[in-house]
Amino acid sequence: MTKTPWNYLKKQLLPIGLDWGATGLRAVQLYRRGREIGLFSALETSFPPAQDAPMDVSATSAAQDPNLDDHNENVKHLLASLHKDGGFSGTSIMIHCPADRLDLRPITLPGDAEKLPHDAVIQSIRLQMKPHIRFDINEAIIDYYLLPAANRAAGTKLITVTADGGWIRRRVSLLQSWGWQCRSVIPLPAALSRLAKTMPPTDAADHDDAATLLKPILCIGHRHMVLTVHLHEGPVFSRVFDFGGEIMADALALRLQVNFTQAHRLIHAYGLSGSENSFTALAENNAATATADAVDPAVHHLRQEIARAVRTALREEVSLLAEGLTRALNYVINEYSQAKLDRVRCCGGGAHTPGLTRELSDQLEWPVDIIDHPLLDEICSQWPEGRAPAGQWATALALAYPQEGESA
C-alpha cells in the first residue's frame, strides 16, 4: 500500500476557538492535515467604547440590568460579522470557563481511588470542595484526573476541577440561541495546558525531560490574573490574583490623581518601562519621526518625570503581586520536588504592559517572558507590528488547539 503524499492530504477544519473577553472577541480556527496542525483563520473585534467595562452576560438577568439585552444584541451581531469577515467555516465553537468561575486544586483520597466508581469519586470531591467555592456546589460541574504514581505518597492524589455549572449553562444557552454549537466548554487552565504541551522548553537540554518540566503560565486579563502550572498530564496548580489592566489603572488613577481614561493612556504609553521609554512614547503619541535631539528638552524632561512617576506607582502593585507569585511557585516546587521549573510565560492583554515582564523577572529572580508558539507568530504576522500582540491571542489559540486524540 503506497502512502499518500503529505501535501495531498485533505485539510480537516477544526472547531473555532472563541475567546469572549471583557473588551472584545477573538476567534481562531485551525486545520489538521495528517500530523500537521496549521492556521486557517484568525480575527478579532472590539466592543464599542461604552461597553469596555466588563459585563458578565451569563450571571445577570435582563430584569437586573436593563442594558443587558442591548449588550447581548451587540455581541451577537459582532460575532456574526467576525465569522463572516474572517472566512471561518462552520458554527462549531470551543469556549472557556474563566478561572474566577472555577476551582482547580489537588486533593487526596484514601486508598486506591482508581478502583472506585466514577460517581463515588465525584461525590467525595463534591464534599471536599464545598467549603472552598463561591458558587452553588449542587450545580457544579466536576472533573478530575490522576497524578502519576510518583506523586501519590499517601492515598490517591487527584487534580480536581470544579466549575460553576450555572454560569456554563447560561453561557452555552445564550450562544445556542444565536445559532452556535458549543462543542465544548474548557476550563481556562486546561485550555492553556494544550499550548504548554507543545511549547519547547527554555533549555534545549530539558527536551528529553519534558514530562517532568513544570511550565508556569500567567494569564493577565482585565481584572484578574491567573497563574497555572502545567506538567505533561495537564494543569497541576491554579490560582487567581486580583491584578490586571483595570486594577493597574485604578491604582494609577488613585496615586497620581488622574481620571481613569488618562490612567489607561499612561499605562499604555509608559507602563513600568521608566524614563528610558519616555522618548519612544512621545514619538508615538505625536506621530513624530524626529530624533531625540529635535525634541524640546523641556518636553522631553517632563515626559521622563511622568514615566518615572507612573513606574513608581505601578511598582507597588507589582511588588505585592510578586510576593504572592513567589509563595505560589515555592509551593509548587516543594510539592513536585522531582520536577524542574521552566521560565514563566505571560499571556493576556495585560502581559504587554511596557516593562511588566522585566519587572516581574527582577522581583521573582526568575525568567519571565511573553508566551511564544509558532502559531502565535503566524497569527501576529497577519497584522502590522503592534496590531496583534501574541499574548492576547493565547486563549483563543489554546481553545482551537486539539487535545491529544481529539477528533474534529
DSSP assignment of 149-208, as one string? GGG-SSSEEEEEEEE-HHHHHHHHHHHHHTT-EEEEEEEHHHHHHHHHHHSPPSSGGGGG
Asked if residue 62 has pLDDT above 50, the reply is: no
Identify the CA nearest to 17 among candidates 170, 168, 183, 165: 183
What's the residue count for the chain?
408
Could you give the CA distance from residue 215 to residue 367 in angstroms, rounded to a whole number? 12
Residue 134 lies in a domain: no
Using alpha carbons, select from 80, 87, 92 the residue that is nearest to residue 400.
92
SS3 342: coil
At 204, the pLDDT band (50, 70, 90 cuts) reads low
Nearest to 271 by CA among 351, 214, 338: 351
Decide if pLDDT at 201 tops 50: yes
Q: Is residue 56 part of a domain?
A: yes
Same domain? For 219 and 78 the reply is no
146-184 pLDDT per residue, tens = 776 554 456 678 888 999 999 999 999 999 999 999 999
Q: Verify that 345 and 216 share a domain, yes or no.
A: yes
Is residue 102 within 8 Å of residue 144, measured between CB atoms?
Answer: no
- Residues β-bridged to residue 17: 28, 94
259 with 392, same domain: the answer is: no
- In this structure, what C-alpha cell is assigned to residue 51? 461597553
Q: Would residue 5 count as lying in a domain? A: no
User: Is residue 29 domain-shared with residue 59, that is, in the same domain?
Assistant: yes
Query: Are 89 and 205 in a shared domain?
Result: no
Q: Per-residue pLDDT for 133 more than 90?
A: no
Pairwise CA distance, residues 247 & 242, whole Å: 7
Q: How confident is the model at residue 307 (pLDDT cuts 50, 70, 90)?
A: confident
In a domain, 3, yes or no: no
Angle at Cα 318 formed by Cα 223 and Cα 234, nearest 5°? 65
Look at the block and give the residue holding cell 452555552: 172
Contact indicator for 223, 246 with CB cutoff of 8 Å:
yes
Are residue 248 and residue 183 in the same domain, yes or no?
Answer: no
Q: Are 197 and 232 in contact (CB under 8 A)?
A: yes
Q: Is 231 domain-assigned?
A: yes
Q: Which tens digit of pLDDT belongs to each residue from 346-379?
A: 999 889 899 999 999 999 999 999 998 999 999 9
pLDDT class of 44 with cuts at 50, 70, 90 = very high
Domain identity same for 269 and 390: no
Based on its alpha-carbon atoms, the radius of gyration of the chain, rounded to whole angstroms, reads 23
Q: Say if residue 218 is in the same domain as residue 361.
A: yes
Verify that 217 and 343 share a domain, yes or no. Answer: yes
Q: Considering the domain boundaries, does residue 137 fall inside one?
A: no
Residues paired with residue 161 on neighbouring β-strands, in sequence order: 104, 143
Mean pLDDT computed over every residue of the chain: 82
Same domain, 55 and 86: yes
Number of folded domains in the chain?
2
116 half-sphere exposure, CB direction, 13 A CA radius: 17
82 plus 28 within the same structural domain: yes
CA dist 271 and 311 (Å) reads: 6
Q: Are the C-beta atoms of 400 and 28 separated by less than 8 Å? A: yes
The CATH number given to whatever domain includes residue 331 is: 3.30.420.40
- pLDDT, residue 208, reads 54
Taking the CA atoms of 369, 373, 376 and 377 in sequence, report the sign of the dihedral they define: positive
pLDDT of 72: 80
Give a yes or no: residue 327 inside a domain: yes
The string of DSSP letters for 24-67 reads: EEEEEEEEEETTEEEEEEEEEEEPPGGG-S---TTTS-TTT-TT
Which domain, by its residues, includes 17? 11-99+166-199+373-408
Same domain, 170 and 273: no
Q: What is the identity of the amino acid at 102?
A: L
For residue 388, is it within any domain?
Answer: yes
